[in-house]
A and B are shown apart, each in its own frame.
Chain A
Amino acid sequence: MNRSEILFLYDIVDANPNGDPLDGNKPRLDEETEINIVTDVRFKRTIRDYLHDFKNQGIFIKEIQDKNGNIQDAKQRANDYSSTEGKYDSLDEAKNDLKNCILNQCIDVRLFGATIPIDVKVGKTNKSSSVTLTGPVQFRMGRSLNKVEIQHIKGTGAFASGKGKDQKTFREEYILPYSLIGFYGIVNENAAKETKLKEEDIYLLLDGIWNGTKNLISRSKFGQSPRCLIQIEYNENNFFIGDLNNKISISHDFEDDKKLRKISELDVDLSALISAIEENRDKINKINYKFDSDIEFKDYSMAELITKFKDFGIETSEINL
């Protein structure tokens, strides 16, 4: 496996990409710069849910009311596989056994790591401990490329707030008219050994990023569209370009970012990223990409961009999602 870096752009229209639970579920905002923030855990949740619901992958950190969830199976299975029928002679043996079973069952632990609390019988006593696994795949907090403004929307509900009332309740929510959000992540080949990450897991991760974002059809997330996914794969161990999300920007004809309402009104400027790619072309093994047909880059059409990468002597391939 090679080190790779991921840059993903998606946008959202008239919805809330990630609410702040301590601030009336308003979209998260950096008050100083008026940039919209989406936490990495929200993004990982999107990927986890997609892989679980659409790809039948075992997910360790789940929020589904399910008595026969995978972790139960994993524990059960751990006991099935263990030669001692779930009874261990030492805590270390139990830890290793459960760790391996969970890694074999759960793609999210292989990707993102986890801290797993363990409760087992060692000899005749119950012992508890935990296993900590650092995830090979890490994402930065997502940041919008445009300044945003929060809109406050009020409406009437369909129900009264209690019995014997003749008035319907009011509801209120906060939305963003438009936010183009960038996520930057790294796949670390050294940490991957620890969690037994497989090559096909990385394909599933990209699938979850793209299609998970698209398929997240809930009231507050409807209107999310994946726009651009670039995975830069390196051929030299431990090398990475770094800071990809700050190597792109947007340009448009409005005097203010907050007037933006759709993807066609802006161009994504990749020039700093292209320079970094050119500078490090010898260390790049391959660029995998997927573009939405509506995104427009500054100075290049999509075909020209791919040609440019090829001219650098870098193999490119469109991700088949």
Chain B
Amino acid sequence: MNKKLLAFDIWGDYGYFRRGYTSTSTITFPFPSRTTISGLISGILGLEKGSYHEIFNEDNSKIGLRILNPIKKININLNYINTKGGFLLSDINSNPRVQVQAEFLKDVKYRIYVSLNNDSLMEELYCNLSEHKSVFTPCLGISECIADFKLAYDDLFDLNMSNGNDVNIDSVILKNKFDLIIEPGKKYGIVKSPGFMNSDRIVSKFLEYYYEENANSIKVKNGDFYLIGDEKIALY
């Protein structure tokens, strides 16, 4: 039994993939981390919180992501109420409100590639995507960034690895797996985000990526990639 691969597009007006450990305002990752993608797919399938880390661990799954719309950001500042002491303003002794600058992504669109070892889940995911069904409401990072999605290809593909020199990869790539060939006119970025977590939702491994901000491909010296339609993609 060959492992299968499918691809779907996901988009929305706004996205917000908060980076932890920022000292002042909240800023967003340019694209969802692998853990966020796992949660998103689990929401479409209707898997409960905390039940799916096994399905998406390193041995059981492969994920890839392609940036389809250029990365654009906008600040939407939020007025938070401090609810540590209670929910009524009369219970809150000092500074009941705090204004937070929040950086959102705007007009987001990604293509997500998924390969799960669990065939029945793959089948279920394929059916849900093709019938435009989602058990829980899909969102891009937080609930108000409601997302819409569409299957990118009408088929499940077999997962076949290829290898080549001087290849243009259409997806984001792992920094430690590829050597970049920098080309003029492209805008590169590096970002590190949570990759895997255990059943207590504690991150066990981070992943570091190269990506191109304007949704162009990235040229690499040599590396393993996968073919889907006419796209060459890296999975992680």
Contact = CB atoms under 8 A, between A and B. Distances in A.
Nearest to B98: A21
A30 B89 contact: no
Interface in A157-185: 184-185
A69 B88 contact: yes
Nearest to A112: B143
Nearest to B11: A243
A245 B135 contact: no
A255 interface: no
B76 A141 contact: yes
A21 B74 contact: no
A304 interface: no
Q: Could you say which interface size class chain B belongs to?
A: 35 or more
Nearest to B75: A22
Nearest to B139: A138
A61 B46 CA distance: 28
Q: How many A residues are at the interface, by size bracket? A: 35 or more
Contact of B99 (A22, A139, A241): A22
A28 B76 contact: yes
B13 interface: yes
Contacts, number: 104
A260 to B, nearest CB: 21
A13 interface: no
A117 B84 CA distance: 7
B78 interface: yes
Given A23-B77, A190-B46, A141 B86 contact: no
A67 interface: yes
B87 A141 contact: no
B79 A71 contact: no
B59 interface: no
Interface in A32-73: 32, 37, 39-41, 60-67, 69, 71-72
Interface stretch (B144-152, B165-173, B205-213, B223-231): B144-152
Given A66-B90, A238-B135, A242-B148, A21 B46 contact: no
Given A135-B143, A188-B137, A245-B13, A64 B83 contact: no
Interface in B122-144: 128, 131-137, 139, 143-144
B133 A71 contact: no
B147 to A, nearest CB: 8
Contacts of B84: 117
A92 interface: no
B181 to A, nearest CB: 32
Nearest to B25: A22
A289 interface: no
A140 B146 contact: yes
9 contacts: A32-B106, A39-B78, A67-B90, A69-B88, A71-B87, A139-B144, A239-B132, A242-B148, A245-B13
Interface of B: 11-14, 46, 72, 74, 76-79, 81, 83-84, 86-90, 99, 101, 106, 128, 131-137, 139, 143-146, 148-149
